[in-house]
Amino acid sequence: MLKVCDELIRVLGIETSCDETAASVVSLANDSKPEILSNIVLSQIEEHAAFGGVVPEIAARAHVEALDGIIEAALADAGVDLSDIDAVAATAGPGLVGGLIVGLMTAKAIAAAAGKPLIAINHLEGHALTARLTEGIEFPYLLLLVSGGHTQIVRVAGVGDYQRWATTIDDALGEAFDKTAKMLGLPYPGGPNVEKAAAKGDASRFSFPRPMKGSAQPDFSFSGLKTAVRQAATAIAPLTEQDVCDICASFQLAVADAVTDRVLRALNRFRDEFPDATAPALVVAGGVAANLAIKQALEKLCLGSGFRFVAPPLKLCTDNAAMIAWAGIEHLKAGVDDDDAFDFVPRSRWPLDTISTPIVGSGRRGAKA
């Protein structure tokens, strides 16, 4: 079992689960706030844009070419070398297995050569714990993870203590944004471009469904909404620029309404299960958390429900290595048994909650987060 003996902990984090090559050094001193000493992220958007999505083989090759330099830059920016590092943490899943292999094998080599502990991190755990890095939030809290590959509501009660309360039964929310963008001829990545078009649209023009709204179990569904968008676009084709903007605005409003309805169910459950929580919090993480309409709807919901709304800075909501390094520090502090990390095999599927019954979209599939 890994032990923390020094007053100052420094961890090198490595993230290669999808199409960002990232490395970071995060430190924590006793009785002080954690500090991100460096956080280097190299995006591959240009390499994948022509294909309308991430191509696993291209992503893995780009990680191989860039990772060594990214790690060197992270150490240099932090003003440390490997002898100053207490452990190496790397994303081991879920994600695209080619990228995971590159990152985890590199971390194993560095840790072995430098004689440092290795910590295999679940990518979703990195997102789940980021609010503790940025806001110092205390357990327990509720997490809404919304990204290209995952849409989940998770109860976070401690390091390694996660319970999935809801997930999508079909498409992840980020996937729904990307597919909607593709149907409407908007460029990749879809999410930001749908939001940009929606800002110029009339959200009342199209009446799209609010999937699962009103159902007792707070699961999500977005395939029917995606179908409704396609039918609306087909009915008025060829589309003008204003048509596209109006569809995007109507789609985004439907998503915001559906998400807030689902989250409200979870907030009520959290109140029931943790009646003594004096300052309950909803943490929103993942790339889709950058969508202003969804964020504002959730902020309003939390204000009316007596919950604190917490969204880490955008650069720490999308894929990054600072969250992986911090998760490594959390493992060290909690005394999590990572002694077998050198034998860990990258997992394209790795649910954060290993007890709940698996459902499509629950984090078992490797996809962008």
* Concatenated DSSP letters of 296-326: HHHHHHHHHHT-EEE---HHHHSS-SHHHHH
CA distance 356 to 289: 24
| Positions of the chain with pLDDT under 70 | 1-6, 357-369
CA distance 127 to 320: 9
Say what the pLDDT of residue 54 is.
Answer: 85
Question: Residue 4: which residues within 8 A CB-CB, separation 6 or more?
Answer: 86, 332, 333, 335
Say what the pLDDT of residue 3 is.
Answer: 52
CATH number (3.30.1330.40, 3.30.420.40, 3.40.50.2000, 3.40.50.12160) of 8-134+316-343 reads 3.30.420.40
State the span(s) of the chain assigned CATH 3.30.420.40: 8-134+316-343, 141-311
What CATH topology corresponds to 141-311? Nucleotidyltransferase; domain 5 (3.30.420)
160: left (phi over 0), alpha (psi -120 to 50) or beta: left
How far from 168 is each of 172, 207, 273, CA to CA, in Å?
A: 6, 22, 22
Looking at 162-236, list the stretches that DSSP marks H as alpha helix, in order from N- to C-terminal side: 173-183, 190-198, 223-235
How many residues are there in the chain?
A: 369
Handedness of CA 185, 186, 190, 196 (dihedral sign): negative
Contact 318, 191 (CB under 8 A): no
Handedness of CA 13, 128, 18, 118 (dihedral sign): positive
Mean pLDDT of the chain: 92
What letter would DSSP give residue 220?
B
Say what the pLDDT of residue 284 is.
Answer: 95
Say what the pLDDT of residue 51 is.
Answer: 79
Please report the beta strands in the chain, taking only residues with DSSP state E, as ranges in sequence order: 8-15, 20-29, 35-43, 87-93, 118-122, 141-146, 151-158, 161-167, 281-285, 308-310
Phi, psi torsion values for 347, nearest 5 degrees = -120, 120
The terminus-to-terminus CA distance of the chain in angstroms comes to 29
Q: List, in sequence order, every residue forming a beta bridge with 90; answer none if it has no partner.
A: 14, 120
Half-sphere exposure in the Cβ direction for 150 (13 Å, CA) = 36
